[in-house]
Structure 1
């Protein structure tokens, strides 16, 4: 079991008709907007105070801590996004502002390496007493990820060294031969792995492995921790071990349980550690968990965590649409997990879901202006009910400028600016293209320039300049739904039946200085049906084209509940040439509007009036004011 090599961002220049504008939006609008939020300079949004907290902890100003106990993590994810943005587009002014923040972080760090503004300012006597609720290890992990990213982007190591001191402080406290402990919210494992990759120091890998292996060894750990102290923070139930995945050792877990972000962050670390240590047992556990999520507990959009109660997974096939939770961070975490699994076993089963979550459940989390965000990503919205009635209050019909718990916005910033790292991997004898991402990729084995018409067209051209005299493979992922695949190598058609394996097309040769590989396939409209055990989708269908899930909005179609889609007529593509959706492919769907008596109940059966419905990509919904939205539509 050999883990593939990550392609670094400094090897990547994204030049893509779809994704380059998204990255420019993040850099030009989202990152500056979030910085202003952190400075409390945006009126009429939830206050952040995160930078003020940091200055207070550093002794630079007076004041009280404000915000959630994990407020530091918002800033950490933003700094990570800044680091990636500096690779995409160097910006001396932004870098100087980030350096100034890092200077404050260093000043706020305690002499023993400890860093956490909540406990430094508010409850220093309670450090490390409440791992269940208080997110000290979670915040540390995000700071470590940011520090490694900033070092890799700029070569500056001040932040990295500060987080090494924090990691060493943690390692000096927790372990099988020290105080036993696990995080209430997994993340420290990911941060330690990033430190390991940035520094090459095995102690960080070992500490990450400790936290993974320790979880579930004593399911009563958090209950016993609670009994040792006379205070609580959130008053969480320490006996709900499924919520934080401490109900059993991780190698024995086979179903995705509990808080979905905690879960996929943990699974990502498990896969990463399994790949680094050749731990087949740990990897097999990851496979079982992956199969349960994607086979029984994932929305069509790549959303996971179907209930507001604990932001959690529930039961197999329990996927309500109008009460969905599907937190943006959870889909981001699913992408993290998918990439780590891909780097162990290049397979379309992982890459297809990575893409599905990226284009739908993640991208829907941001407004098209980059300044408003969804925490929850439902598959059906009904104004007047959604966001208002009991059971639906979490399902907001419009994106917000900020949140009290603002984990999702900076998480979007760091994922979208690091997108290039999810497009490629390198092995000993092959390079792997996971996404049809346009750009220039300076890989170890070849310099590859990709011209991509994806996601609106199934066309991509790979211009290859080999760097070695021996043969190696180029493996290009072909989506499972793709039909009529056509591959040309220097203009000559390739037998695609012989080159396809596990969702990839493998071509091996001694690559020259000007080889051209052309990929094309049909981008047909697909009508999707859910498993019959998904009760909410019974009698319904949804539409996909390419990687996109489509939805219907009231602004285009009127009242959605009275609509049906025709079973015997096909949907057609409609290119949008102007307005907000310019350049997108919309769908025109034959259907009917059911009309009947105006009485609440009647013996008069509704009759059908033919209509043509308009469907838009799911990620783009909610950008034209508050109105209805549905992904799954009844058929007739």
Structure 2
């Protein structure tokens, strides 16, 4: 059974104030540039106009998933308003909500495409048409707007739609016994339940998760009901490898029987997030065991060092175990974001720091690489090697990633702290102040740190009165040596489930200091990963590094790092908004030895050169050029 006696809950981002050197600039950029840029793109692309439901035959058709781009923007903007009131942004949000609400049908149904373009085809293509997926993002937007503003303006619209869906779907006679091809509504319904305390939403989420993968497979039955003809949208979602099996949508078998991550990576992360939620809500160890098995398979055989997941463009997802190519790595930004969501849930369900380690890896590398430092251009795909052709774009035909990343950044505070009946936990080291409730009392934790560039963290406690509880500080998986002190006195670093636990009576003003050894180090991969045999990556703290042509010139793949050369670290405040640069020695072939030759009967000579590595998240923010994470290592 799940351990509910020592359960920790995330501290809401509204009770966290971040003033961190690393994250403050990203938060400001998100607020001042990214959120407005996404709105402008929604306007230019016709997404906002489509909400008026005035499409006419012969005009470009709205896409089936356009609703979700708009509602994710509402979610990001609403959460931004919660911390940073902005009259102009609030006006835009209200106007967009009015447009959405105006399209709700009398029975509660709300979807651009199947109201304006194909009104007679509701729920006929659950496999591909994204109706329930769009509903899920609408539900999340309704919860976000209510939590941020206290207004039920969008929440009431959402609840009416959710009530309608609960009537349409289920196992009773006359109901549709199906589920969405793209999981999302499942986790959204749990959020809606927690917001409204309406149990029917939680039960509907459980129904969708339990129904997935049962035989006969619903998507086969759905196609048979159409007379065997392909769904209208199947041409759009039928890239090679995507639709050949039900693995793509994780509907190949019941979720409790799934032990290996398969299919579309974003769909998998959203499904697993819902499974973790339901395992907690229903105290269901069978769902949690499935989550743990899937997590082990993912992290042991399918996850990139950057926290990127999904190696193949063909299915936007997983392939064979250890198949982790670099230049063709897909690693959709949304997939790393989904990995953050899932691991956040697993962390609180288990109390194990290993889930926070993966969350942190994805956050500092594979997720924030998805947006430029300007905040106005984005990666959909995040490869670990580029020959100079891969660049961020201002928008995409399928633009799920920009608003998804924006909503992650607006709620960053919720990932930092956790609270329990007599426990306070620090999960991420971000300079901030968190207001926690422990032992029925308010406890303020004030973090001071220059993480991720330095390993020193100071936590000062502000208490109304002395209180006995356990303060838990995550010992990151990358950290080999740590020292802890309380009020200047060293303490034993007792570690439980990856957390340093300090259980004592705390007084106002007590100061805990954590000194984590943060050194640049070489990282090697399981030799089963063919793409990286004989190669090495560089990591320092949670940050993965790469070589970029802007620093090292062309021919990155010809370089070989010296295995014993020091990895020298120096912070450069003027580079890429301030980064720690790692310099070391490498060997480069002398091109002159190969002039006019394709083959030779002896090795060519090499010259020693100094190379510079920058954080992976910051690449492609200067002049175009090649990039490389996994670098050859000289023998």
Scaled to the shorter chain, the TM-score interval is: over 0.9
Q: CA deviation at 1:452?
A: 1.6
**Is 1:186–2:183 an aligned residue pair?**
yes
Q: In structure 2, what is the Cα distance between the partners aligned to 1:377 and 1:68?
A: 24
For 1:26, the equivalent position in structure 2 comes to: 30
For 1:233, the equivalent position in structure 2 comes to: 233
Q: In structure 1, what is the Cα distance between the partners aligned to 2:152 and 2:552?
A: 55
In structure 2, runs of 5+ residues without a counterpart are: none
**For the aligned residues, what is the CA RMSD?**
1.6
Conserved 8 A contact 1:56-1:64: no
For 1:256, the equivalent position in structure 2 comes to: 261
Q: In structure 2, what is the Cα distance between the partners aligned to 1:62 and 1:157?
A: 35
Q: 1:352-501 counterparts in 2 under 5 A?
A: 352-383=357-388, 386=389, 397-445=390-438, 446-466=443-463, 470-496=467-493, 499-501=494-496
Q: In structure 2, what is the Cα distance between the partners aligned to 1:132 and 1:568?
A: 53
For 1:43, the equivalent position in structure 2 comes to: none
Q: In structure 1, what is the Cα distance between the partners aligned to 2:535 and 2:58?
A: 55
Q: In structure 2, what is the Cα distance between the partners aligned to 1:55 and 1:628?
A: 44
Q: In structure 2, what is the Cα distance between the partners aligned to 1:566 and 1:24?
A: 40
Q: CA deviation at 1:473?
A: 1.0
For 2:570, the equivalent position in structure 1 comes to: 574
In structure 1, runs of 5+ residues without a counterpart are: 41-47, 387-396
Q: Secondary structure of 1:510's match? A: strand
**Is 1:11–2:22 an aligned residue pair?**
no
Q: Secondary structure of 1:156's match? A: coil
Q: In structure 1, what is the Cα distance between the partners aligned to 2:282 and 2:467?
A: 29
Q: CA deviation at 1:90?
A: 1.2
For 1:333, the equivalent position in structure 2 comes to: 338
Q: Secondary structure of 1:344's match? A: helix
Task: Provide the aligned length of Structure 1 versus Structure 2.
Answer: 612
**Is 1:68–2:24 an aligned residue pair?**
no
Q: Secondary structure of 2:481's match? A: strand
Q: Secondary structure of 2:70's match? A: helix
Q: In structure 2, what is the Cα distance between the partners aligned to 1:156 and 1:52?
A: 24
Alpha carbons of 1:600 and 1:250: their partners in 2 closer, same or farther (altered >3 Å)? farther
Conserved 8 A contact 1:339-1:422: yes
Conserved 8 A contact 1:242-1:258: yes
**1:172-201 alpha-carbon deviations (Å, 9 max, x no partner):** 010121320110100001110110111111
**Is 1:510–2:505 an aligned residue pair?**
yes
Alpha carbons of 1:176 and 1:466: their partners in 2 closer, same or farther (altered >3 Å)? farther
Q: In structure 2, what is the Cα distance between the partners aligned to 1:219 and 1:92?
A: 52
Conserved 8 A contact 1:219-1:248: no
Q: In structure 2, what is the Cα distance between the partners aligned to 1:62 and 1:514?
A: 68
Q: CA deviation at 1:574?
A: 2.1
Q: CA deviation at 1:49?
A: 1.1
For 1:296, the equivalent position in structure 2 comes to: 301
**Is 1:54–2:54 an aligned residue pair?**
no
Q: CA deviation at 1:490?
A: 1.5
**Is 1:169–2:164 an aligned residue pair?**
yes
Q: In structure 1, what is the Cα distance between the partners aligned to 2:544 and 2:533?
A: 18
For 1:583, the equivalent position in structure 2 comes to: 578
Q: Secondary structure of 1:134's match? A: coil
Conserved 8 A contact 1:440-1:448: yes
Q: CA deviation at 1:63?
A: 9.3
Conserved 8 A contact 2:256-2:286: yes
Q: In structure 2, what is the Cα distance between the partners aligned to 1:490 and 1:261?
A: 45
Q: Normalising to structure 1: TM-score of the pair?
A: 0.94
Q: CA deviation at 1:62?
A: 11
Q: In structure 2, what is the Cα distance between the partners aligned to 1:347 and 1:482?
A: 16
**Is 1:87–2:92 an aligned residue pair?**
no
Conserved 8 A contact 1:137-1:188: yes
For 1:124, the equivalent position in structure 2 comes to: 119
Q: In structure 1, what is the Cα distance between the partners aligned to 2:417 and 2:200?
A: 28
Q: Secondary structure of 2:336's match? A: helix
For 2:610, the equivalent position in structure 1 comes to: 612
